[in-house]
Amino acid sequence: MKTVKLIGKTRHGKNRIAQHGEIWEVESEHGNIMLLKSLEETFVITGSTTCFDKRWVSVENDRDFEVVIDQGESYVKQKERSLY
């Protein structure tokens, strides 16, 4: 399972991280865009019914998040990763 760490840049991004966590599973990648899924069922549908939250993020220049790529046991910021 490939994961990424999200760092909130805006109030919206910080709120989503507080609600769903900072580590997300990568479901698919399309060029510079990733579809991410929360690791836990944290999205409340109705009452006590929950499901996984999913969202599209841009790996570079996302408005709400900085995407940090999983490199085994550590995470490398995308800007640092693109230099290699």
Question: pLDDT: is 71 or 81 the higher one?
Answer: 71
User: Which helix (H) or strand (E) is 17 found in, with range?
Assistant: helix 11-20
Listing DSSP states for 32-58 in one string gives: TEEEEEESS--EEEETTEEE--EEEEE
Domain locations along the chain: 3-81
Give the mean pLDDT of 78-83.
Answer: 45
* CB count in 10 Å sphere of residue 74: 9
Confidence tier at 55 by pLDDT (50, 70, 90): very high
Residue with more model confidence, 51 or 46: 51
Could you tell me the pTM of the whole model?
A: 0.79
What is the pLDDT averaged over residues 45-60? Answer: 90
Q: Which of 39, 42, 40 is nearest to 15 (CA)?
A: 42
Q: How confident is the model at residue 76 (pLDDT cuts 50, 70, 90)?
A: low
